[in-house]
Amino acid sequence: MESRYEIGLGNHDDKTRKHALDDPIKFWEEQADNLFWFEKWISVLQWDPPFAKWFVGGKTNVSYNALDVIVKKTPDKLAIIWEGEDGNTRNITYKQLLEQVCRFSNVLKSLGVGKGDRITVYLPMIPELVVSLLACSRIGAIHTVIFSGFSSQSIRDRVDDSKSKIVITADGGRRRGTIIKLKETIDDAIRNFDFVQNVIVVENVKNIISYTKKDLKWGSLMSGSEIYCEPEKLDSAHPLYILYTSGTTGKPKGVLHGTGGYLTHIYSTFKWVFDIKQDDVYFCTADIGWVTGHSYIAYGPFLHGSTQVMYEGALDYPTPERIWQIVSKHRVTILYTTPTALRMFMKYGNDLPNSNDLSSLRLLGTVGEPINPEVWKWYFEIIGKSKCPIIDTWWQTETGGIMISPVPGLETIPLKPGSATRPIPGISIDVIDENGKRTRDGSKGYLVVTQPWPGMLLTLWNDDEKYKSVYWSKYHTMYYPGDFAIRDEDGYIWMLGRADDVLKIAGHRLGTAELESGFVSHKSVAEAAVCGIPHQIKGEVILAFIVLKEGVEPSSELKEELTNHIRKTIGSIATPDRMYFVSKLPKTRSGKIMRRLLKAVSTNEKIGDVSTLEDEATVDEIKFAFAYMQQSMENNTR
């Protein structure tokens, strides 16, 4: 086991953990009491497995808690220090943010948006993105953000599934010195969608673009709008947002989060995990297109009246020093980033961080992928100068908020590089085997959540059946996140990556089935299989195996065409690292692609104990397929 690191922060108080264990319902009720409610709940939890309703009967509003409550105390405190990729900055106080949110809420209302209507948001990392989400939450509209790296086809599927009434986008976004044409992508995505009533366009880069009859300009709408908007008193279970995420089927799933439970989870975890103080400057490098940006940029920090840095562009642009310059310039105290980003910065050596003043930092977080102990130690020693604890946080889009992490705001515990430590108080987690039995300490098993928790998803949008089958059919009474893990003798959890067909490419979640159907939608492709293989920086990269249709000749031009095709159908994040043309795919008798075998061949693993490689195939079948794939891959590189 790794050597131990003590957290130097926080109060030592295991009373909270004990209390949470003894009476989790009462514990969460007390946490909900920290928030503002228009009407108090009648019961804390209505658990009709697998559907949970938290704080039933309670009425609240997320934007009221994030803005009005704070404005009463610290109206002139900075809510957002925004830095554009080109170096421009915009400072926004809580009072100004509330005003913007109210104005935009009124804009939406004037366009006929009401409670429960869906709003698609496809914006770069600019303050208008935060304003849009908070405004939706103020009037009870359901936002659905799409990461700006997704292509028009991916957007089309998501807008169609959510039947969004309004789409919010920009005339362009800045990325690595170029302008991303967001509006054109949206025009292409929503063509013939009559249910989309209007597209609101933020004039962000002042690009000359063409406008259609549906388009409205953000600036003129806002200037003609009233400065105050009464917040809706929303039921605790009222949906707050849909966030599409990849799973094991071809179509992305619309994860649906609610209001009161989610709010309680985010409020509490932000306080405990980041040990937040009034004078902190928090910087989360995630994009709001992913869940981290929802929970810990758009909501968590504002609920505590914190000041946060929001950055528009690439962290290594124009030089790999950019991230450290931002930390130094704005005196950032808490940095929350990804192992992929850290691996990239580590590669550039120590001179860049060392030549910037990082002395303001006091706490360092990571999220999204397992962090290798060497990277953990680099983060601890070189970035944190061995005085900042590393907070490795495990959670998912579906969990809404952090589930496993050190909690320096509550207790001091020794850290172990590479482990997310223990479940946060009030969260019940275990590691079990295929039969649902608790694994021995130190043995690999499946991570499960054994009790409902406040931030948990309500369901999948319009698909209760899929919600049940994806998360609740493996163990019935326990939530199955799809991750492998080990619990060690101290009760610490070590995450070992996905147990299902979901990839984590540079921390971004992509389903193999979604990628495969992307390839198959090309006219020359008969079948496709993808797998992820380890990569030094991105954690994992995509390998694609393609079976071409009869009569189609393999060529390097075709590879390029297929790469462009997948970028067009899914987005640039889906670009494969390598592609192989093969004449057939290795499959089990029931037709399942032997993905673990593909991975083993691709990483030059020895065939070894083949019987454990795939569940449904015989040893001979696997051996044969292995040799065949090895041969095919060699032929490809020749």
How far apart (Å, rounded) are the C-alpha atoms in residues 617 and 594?
9
| Rounded CA separation 17/272 (Å) | 12
Q: Which two structure tokens, joined as six digits, stand for 447?
A: 């991570």
Neighbours of 611 (CB within 10 A): 11
Which CB atom, from 474 or from 509, has the smaller least distance to ligand WTA? 509
Q: What is the nearest approach in angstroms of ligand WTA to the Cβ of residue 345? A: 18
Q: Considering only CA atoms, which of 70, 132, 114 is closest in space to residue 238? A: 114
Nearest by Cα to 237 from 255, 267, 215, 262: 262
Which among 225, 233, 217 is positioned nearest to 60, based on CA atoms?
233
**Residue with Cβ nearer ligand WTA (172 or 452):** 452
Contacts of 620 (CB under 8 A, 6+ apart): none
Q: Closest distance between ligand WTA and the C-beta of residue 397, in Å?
A: 3
Cα 331-336-341 angle, rounded to 5 deg: 105
SS (H, E, C) 523-545: CCEEEEEEEEEEECCCEEEEEEE
Closest distance between ligand WTA and the C-beta of residue 392, in Å? Answer: 5
Tell me how far apart the alpha carbons of residues 584 and 581 are, in angstroms, rounded to a whole number: 9
φ/ψ of 503, rounded to 5, equals: -105, 155
In sequence order, the 6+-apart residues with CB closer than 8 A to the CB of 301 are 270, 276, 282, 284, 307, 308
CB of 309: closest distance to ligand WTA in angstroms? 20
**How far apart are the C-alpha atoms of 253 and 530, rounded to whole Å?**
19
Q: Of 27 and 272, which has the nearer Cβ to ligand WTA?
A: 272
Q: In the complex with ligand WTA, which residue's Cβ is closer, 284 or 495? A: 495
> Nearest distance from residue 634's CB to ligand WTA, in Å?
32
| Cβ at position 498, least distance to ligand WTA in Å | 5
* Pick 9 or 573: Cβ nearer ligand WTA: 573
Residue placing its CB nearer to ligand WTA in the complex, 63 or 396 = 396
Q: State which residue, 258 or 511, has the beta carbon closest to ligand WTA.
A: 511
Nearer to ligand WTA, 333 or 397 (CB): 397
Q: Which amino acid is at 51?
A: F
Whether residue 401 contacts residue 474, with contact meaning beta carbons closer than 8 Å, is answered with: no
**Interacting residues toward ligand WTA by CB under 6 A:** 245, 290-292, 367-370, 392-397, 420, 481-483, 495, 498, 504, 509
Q: How many CB atoms lie within 10 A of CB 441?
A: 13
CB of 424 to ligand WTA, least distance (A): 12
- Give which of 424, 360, 431 is closest to 394, Cα–Cα: 424
Residue 572 CB, nearest distance to ligand WTA (Å)?
17
Minimum Å gap between C-beta 548 and ligand WTA is 33
Closer residue to ligand WTA, CB minimum distance, 99 or 392: 392
CB of 405 to ligand WTA, least distance (A): 8
Query: Can you say how many angstroms the Cα of residue 241 is from the centroid of all Cα atoms in its chain?
Result: 13
Of the pair 157, 369, the CB lying nearest ligand WTA is at: 369
Burial class of residue 638 in the structure, from the number of CB atoms within 10 Å of its CB (0-12 exposed, 13-18 middle, 19+ buried): exposed
| Cα 54-57-59 angle, rounded to 5 deg | 90
Helix (H) or strand (E) holding 130: helix 127-139
> Residue 161 Cβ, how far from ligand WTA at the closest point, in Å?
18
Contacts of 104 (CB under 8 A, 6+ apart): 131, 132, 135, 222, 225
| Shortest distance (Å) from residue 235 CB to ligand WTA | 26
Q: Which is nearer to ligand WTA, 201 or 470 (CB)?
A: 470
Between 341 and 601, whose beta carbon lies closer to ligand WTA?
341
